[in-house]
Structure 1
Amino acid sequence: MSEKKTGLTRRGFLGTSGAAILGGAVLSQGVLNAAPGKATDQDALPRKWDETFDVVVVGSGFAALAAAIEAKKAGSSVAVLEKMKTAGGNSIINGGIFAVAGSPLQAKMGIKDSPELMAQDMIKAGLGLNHPDLVKLICEKSVEAFDWTVNELGMKFQEGEMVQEGGHTVQRSIKLPNSSGAGLVLPELAKLKSLGVEPRTQTLVTKIYRDKDGRVKGVQVREGYAFPKADSGKVKNIKARRAVVLAHGGFSQDVAYRMIQDPKLTAKFESTNQPGATSEMWREASRIGCNLIQGDWIQVGPWASPDEKGFGLAPHFAQEAAAMYGLWLNAKTGKRFVDELANRKVRADAIMMLMNKGENCIAFADSYGVSRLTKGIMDKLIQRGVVKKYDTLEDVASAYSMPLDAFKETIAKYNKNIREGVRDDVKNSVTLPKEVKPVETAPYYVSRLLPKVHHCMGGIYTNTAAQAMDVSTDKPIPSLYAAGESTGGVHGAVRLGSCAITDCIVMGRVAGQNAAKEKPWG
């Protein structure tokens, strides 16, 4: 399968100067750098395969499950390999918002949107490092991906309300059931089970077999693996008659590896990711000749809280209530310090800059802003002490040692602008949700802000057929596909919130469909 011409031009589709810029290949420490496409003693195929499948999928998140479903529907036998005890990866703890350009829900709300506008937003945030053909494909297929979740998986979405994540110029992010990635992962797992396939958990992939002819022909695994014990489990070899799909996610929990890419992201930074988000498959993909690009673009989520571990629930409040309908404040000055609807990098950098000066930041919303959240989330946040409730502005200022007069002046100015329809002097990069109202309805709610390592924008370079590209030839590696956070080039310097699900579903489906079309060997 060859990559199809997209016909995308800077002027014709995106109207932007974003170009297909390749980053440097990620270096792997202590790993054999075999010449791509050449077998070595380490790479030699096993004399005997323990099991055989048409398609082997590595990972069990959004992209992996979409690939597995499509490959199985196409008639292939499929194995889904997951190293952790439970399936779902980071996807199952995802924040649960899905970017769809031109969705039926937008139409009902009178929101005008298009794939072209979504692509412009993505490339603007990505600083032009996004590969335009990949962005175009994902944006154009976003509605198809949404329809797939409804028609194929039987999903139902909340109508009448959408999230406007930072960097999106309009409201286009649809809430998943329960505002959680589990709302999509569980239907994917159920669909896959109905097709006769269930993920093999505690199965660590330790090697990808790439033969003398350059084709990927299977994997070596440790079955019964107990994370993080590298030598646990029984070694087995699994043959992939048609193809291998890599959808293993990012490495945000691998401090050593992420510091190779970005030395600033030391162990002092927590991660929103599940513990298994480590670098084994990144290193292995590099070893067999995959072109890994833009590995040093690692996203830090600005809306996380120091008062809970991991991703938690605070991002729902900080983004969906405070950023959309409230304010983010510097507690030392009582003033706003950033456009609350700017992209994640802009906001995270602003918070970290203030933290370096010993200043703290908070997300602030009133009762109206909180009313926009999915039912039940605020109760959990209050019970856990992640969000605090206050009866008066004086109570808020006292709790966070904020200068009261400056705090009140900030809110008064913001409310005046909202009432008069004046473009605000801080929140000025996007069109505000039409439901925005002045912030004045007690009680008031606050969460503390602490950025956490969240998403790896870089990864395996693929074409629009989801084929993994060879670092030495710039051609597809035969029978190797990749999708989701294991790939690079889609999001560039900054991934806009809610675009991960779109990327994973679109490219996961493409990878699964094309993997099943490969001519079998042996």
Structure 2
Amino acid sequence: MTVPTVKPPPDRFDLEVELLIIGAGACGLIAALSAKETGQEVLVIEADAIPSGSTALSAGLIPAAGTKLQQAVGIDDSPAQFAADIQAKAHGENDQELVDLLAQNSADVIDWLAEVHGLPFSVVDDFDYPGHSSRRMHGLPTRAGAELIDALRSAAERADVDIICARRAETLFFADGLVHGIAARRPDGGVETIGCKRLILACNGFGGNRALVARHMPEIESGLWFGHDGNQGEAVLWADQIGAATRHLGAYQGHGNVAHPHGILITWATITEGGVQVNRAGKRFWNEAQGYSEAARAVLSQPGGEAFAIFDARIATIARQFEDFKRAEVQGAVKTANTLDELADALGLPADALSETMDNIPTDGTDGFGRTFGKTRLSPPHCGVRVTGALFHTQGGLQVDSSARVITRDGLPIPNLFAGGGAACGVSGRGDSGYLSGNGLLAAVVLGRIAGNAAAA
């Protein structure tokens, strides 16, 4: 990869537009839709051959509080409670203004996408996500990020948004405190310069840049990289060169339930509904209720950097609403057995130890790790998956104001530069323990909507 650079603008550009958006993930496409409906001339450039990004690798679930869909199924929720949940998970380390901004605008984005652009969202109402005090996850029918990206791309096409793929931005033209455009490389090696009046960075995080990961989050450096390889950190590297402020570069979304060696995300519903994780010795090793991001580090600390998710057929039925889980079953990652001894044999675990571990799970009580279990016990047939810990996405990035404008280190906004998605600082605090399910997509869709509207002002 060419190191991103910042240069003064050229005398002339190959192409000029009013609003340029770098990145055709969820943030970039939503920003484009928002800007287009105000009448702006919009161009989106995308490094991949087709829009995908980290969103396509996720479950595509967006948390939002107070939506019409929640109201329709009798779920009582509010932006204030959502904001409180975000801060509780992040130990109060987030900027309260940003947290409130995301929570208060979350419902409007979901309602707008559903009503104006026809995205068939529904609420995940059959299990709870760690840290959320209400059922507020909204997803499309397959509960897959690829479906979300496809739906957003189709909406952009219907709105006549221009998207040029296979163009990776390499140079930011910046002078006199303003962005003037970018230079992007074509697949044939040639370079095109694009001038713009306003620029939205909806490009990526930096999880695919191993040098930046080692520098900012060494505790996850050895984890499987499960995100999008295009996440090379152009935004934070440009920030250093133009004096833009960054924050929480050590924050990340991990996942400690990735089928190994298949590399398929196993929904955390397998755990929240009563499942557990054990190590190679057949023993539990932590409080799984803390969440799947925390699980990444916990699992990597075990022998071989692996663990085994143990659940049952009842939980597997819930998990099958996710395409990833069904794919894992097809590929043989999910083992099913009528007894624990048979499951232990299928997973290569010591049968006596696994049986003892499962017998010691309390019924309607709290265990020695501090996890509270309900009255429903795991029962045959039993299921299990060999898993490992992975880095999915970075959560730190450029600081933005309430209009999604990038802030300088002096605290002043750059008037025509906006950021969202992986390029902007999210709301997960300083490390991994503050990641609340859906934070990444929440910041992507809300900041994308705000940036697209603000760039039209």
Q: Confirm or deny a common fold (TM above 0.5).
A: yes
Q: Which amino acid aligns with 1:79?
A: L
RMSD between aligned residues: 2.6
Structure 2: where are the runs of 5+ without partners?
A: none
Within the candidate set 376, 401, 408, 1:463 is matched to 401
Q: Would the alpha carbon gap of residues 489 and 381 (structure 1) be closer, same or farther in structure 2, given more than 3 Å must change? A: closer
Aligned twin of 2:435: 495
1:326 aligns with 2:275: yes
Quick check: 1:254 aligned with 2:209? Answer: yes
**Sequence identity of aligned pairs in percent?**
25
- Structure-1 separation of matches of 2:73 and 2:309: 27
Post-superposition offset of 1:389: 1.8
- Using the TM superposition, give the Cα deviation of residue 144 of structure 1 relative to its aligned residue in structure 2, in angstroms: 1.3
Q: 1:129 to 1:218 in 2, by over 3 A?
A: same
Partners of 2:40 and 2:72 in 1: CA distance: 39
Larger % of strand: which?
2
| Alpha-carbon shift at residue 508 of structure 1 (Å) | 0.4
For structure 1, which runs of at least 5 residues remain unmatched after alignment?
Answer: 1-28, 33-41, 226-231, 518-522
- 1:315 corresponds in structure 2 to 266
Give the whole-Å Cα distance in 1 for the aligned partners of 2:362 and 2:405: 51
> Is the aligned partner of 1:362 residue 2:308?
yes
- The correspondence for 1:101, drawn from 54, 58, 65, is 65
Name the CA distance, whole Å, in 1 between partners of 2:311 and 2:178: 55
Q: Which residue of 1 aligns with 2:331?
A: 384
The one-letter amino acid paired with 2:439 is C
**2-side partners of 1:427 and 1:272: how far apart?**
29
**Residue 186, structure 1, aligned to residue 150, structure 2:** yes
Q: State the distance in 2 between where 1:438 and 1:109 align.
A: 28
Residue 235 of structure 1 is aligned with which of 178, 191, 200? 191
Q: TM-score scaled to structure 1, two decimals?
A: 0.80
Residue type matched to 1:254 in 2?
N
Question: What does the per-residue CA deviation read over 1:390-429, in whole Å, with 9 as the maximum and x for residues that have no partner?
Answer: 2211112233454444433443443622xxxx45554647
More deviation, 476-485/157-166: 157-166
1:220 counterpart letter in structure 2: A
Task: Give 1:216's aligned residue.
Answer: 179
How many Å separate the matches in 2 of 1:373 and 1:306? 18
Match of 2:82 in 1: 118
Distance 2:9 2:357 in 1: 67
Verify: 1:290 aligned to 2:241, yes or no: no
Q: Give the deviation of 1:77 after TM superposition.
A: 0.5
Once the two structures are TM-superposed, the CA of residue 102 in structure 1 deviates from its matched residue by: 3.4
Is the 2:295–2:389 Cα contact (8 Å) retained in structure 1?
no
The CA deviation at 1:79 is 0.8
Q: Which residue does the alignment assign to 2:218?
A: 263
**2-side partners of 1:160 and 1:217: how far apart?**
43
CA–CA distance in structure 2, aligned partners of residues 103 and 75 of structure 1: 27
| 2:159 maps to 1:195 | yes
Find the counterpart in structure 2 of residue 7 from structure 1: none
Task: State the alpha-carbon separation in 2 of the partners of residues 116 and 481 from structure 1.
Answer: 26
Say yes or no: does 1:151 pair with 2:122: no
State the Cα distance separating 1:511 from its structure 2 match: 0.3
- Confirm or deny: 8 A CA contact 1:76 1:516 kept in the other structure: yes
8 A Cα contact 2:244 2:408, kept in partner: yes
Query: Are 1:92 and 2:71 an aligned pair?
Result: no
Task: Name the amino acid aligned to 2:308.
Answer: I
The 3 A distance-change label for structure 1 pair 198 and 93 is farther
Q: Which residue of 1 aligns with 2:453?
A: 513
Whole-angstrom CA distance in 1 between matches of 2:123 and 2:249:
37
Equivalent residue, structure 2, for 1:342: 290
Counterpart of 1:4 in structure 2 is none
**Alpha-carbon contact 2:310-2:385 (below 8 Å) kept:** yes
Report the Cα offset of residue 352 of structure 1: 2.3
Letter in 2 for 1:365: F
Work out whether 1:174 is the aligned partner of 2:129: no
In 1, Cα distance between equivalents of 2:402 and 2:127: 28
How far does residue 487 in structure 1 lie from its aligned partner after superposition? 0.7
Instruction: Quote the residue 2:376 is aligned against.
Output: 437
Deviation at 1:248, TM superposition (A): 0.7
- Give the C-alpha shift of residue 129 in structure 1: 2.2
Residue 252 of structure 2 contacts residue 435 of structure 2 at CA under 8 Å; is this kept in 1? Answer: no
Q: Is the contact made by 2:405 and 2:417 (CA closer than 8 Å) also made in structure 1?
A: yes
For the Cα contact (< 8 Å) 1:466–1:483, is it kept in 2? yes
The corresponding residue for 1:19 is: none
Q: Which amino acid aligns with 1:115?
A: P
The code of the aligned residue for 2:228 comes to Q
Summarize the Cα distance change of 1:396–1:359 in structure 2 as closer, same or farther, 3 Å threshold: farther
Name the structure 2 match of 1:486. 423
Provide closer, same or farther for how the CA distance between residues 503 and 162 of structure 1 changes in structure 2, counting only shifts above 3 A.
Answer: farther
CA contact (8 A) 2:254 2:294 kept: no
Deviation at 1:386, TM superposition (A): 1.8
